A and B are shown apart, each in its own frame.
Chain A
Amino acid sequence: GAVVSQHPSWVICKSGTSVKIECRSLDFQATTMFWYRQFPKQSLMLMATSNEGSKATYEQGVEKDKFLINHASLTLSTLTVTSAHPEDSSFYICSARTGNGYTFGSGTRLTVV
């Protein structure tokens, strides 16, 4: 089945630095990728929708200059958390549409210290 590989699975970074999270579709072309954020013991909140070759569409309240999304190819979408702060610590998950629904990455646990 369709697989999305997400890396890294966890990362610890210092406050003020930037972190890039990658999601690759391994055996299909992901024209649309969704990026979610999940706080502890809470549901997934959609941050943005990216389409290959075009600018991402951000949900209300999400800072596009802080969460940079790039979807330069049909198999790779990236989320860069710029100038990270402790409040950005969270679990980030990508998801791609497939012919049968959606497939999710395994998530990235970001901890900003």
Chain B
Amino acid sequence: GDSVTQMEGPVTLSEEAFLTINCTYTATGYPSLFWYVQYPGEGLQLLLKATKADDKGSNKGFEATYRKETTSFHLEKGSVQVSDSAVYFCALSDRDDYKLSFGAGTTVTVRA
């Protein structure tokens, strides 16, 4: 079945550092790919998404490119802020049943 493998955390960074969170997937078809962010005590918020190969999703300085050849969707941000401290989830959606499969989540802590 479909699955998502996400870089394990926790990740601790200093402000203005570069952030990369690796995500690879396994899918039989052509899934849509997502990054969600969860702040403490809250539900998930969509950060960005890509629906086909070579698409680049971007939002709030974060970027991720749908790489079919490497089955990857790595999340990057060039200069993180304290407010970026959260748990980040990579996810894919099977277009047949629209179920979301999530990675394990990566906790990111940014220190001032």
Interchain residue pairs with CB less than 8 A apart (6)? A46-B100, A49-B99, A101-B34, A101-B46, A104-B44, A104-B45
Q: Nearest chain A CB to B3's CB is how many angstroms away?
A: 11
Report yes or no: B104 in contact with A34, Cβ–Cβ below 8 A: no
Residue on B nearest A102 in the bound complex, by CB:
B100
Q: How far is the CA of A101 from the CA of B89 in the complex (A)?
A: 15
Using Cβ atoms and an 8 Å threshold, which residues of chain B touch A41? 105, 107
Q: Nearest chain B CB to A100's CB is how many angstroms away?
A: 9
Residue on B nearest A93 in the bound complex, by CB:
B43
Report, nearest first, the 8 A-B pairs whose CB atoms are least far apart. A106-B43, A107-B43, A104-B44, A104-B43, A43-B102, A43-B104, A44-B102, A43-B105
Q: Which of A34, A41, A43 has the most CB of B within 10 A?
A: A43
Report yes or no: A95 in contact with B104, Cβ–Cβ below 8 A: no
Interface size for chain B: under 10, 10 to 19, 20 to 34, or 35 or more residues?
A: 20 to 34
Looking at chain A's contact residues, the main secondary structure is strand
Looking at chain B's contact residues, the main secondary structure is strand
Report yes or no: A43 in contact with B103, Cβ–Cβ below 8 A: yes
Residue on A nearest B104 in the bound complex, by CB:
A43
Report yes or no: B46 in contact with A102, Cβ–Cβ below 8 A: yes
Does B69 touch A at the CB level, under 8 Å? no
Contacting A at CB under 8 A, from B19-70, are 32, 34, 36, 41-46, 49
Contacting B at CB under 8 A, from A57-106, are 93, 95, 97, 101-106
Residue on A nearest B99 in the bound complex, by CB:
A46
Does A18 touch B at the CB level, under 8 Å? no
Report yes or no: B49 in contact with A101, Cβ–Cβ below 8 A: yes
Report yes or no: B99 in contact with A93, Cβ–Cβ below 8 A: no
Residue on A nearest B34 in the bound complex, by CB:
A101
Report yes or no: B102 in contact with A97, Cβ–Cβ below 8 A: no
Does A32 touch B at the CB level, under 8 Å? yes
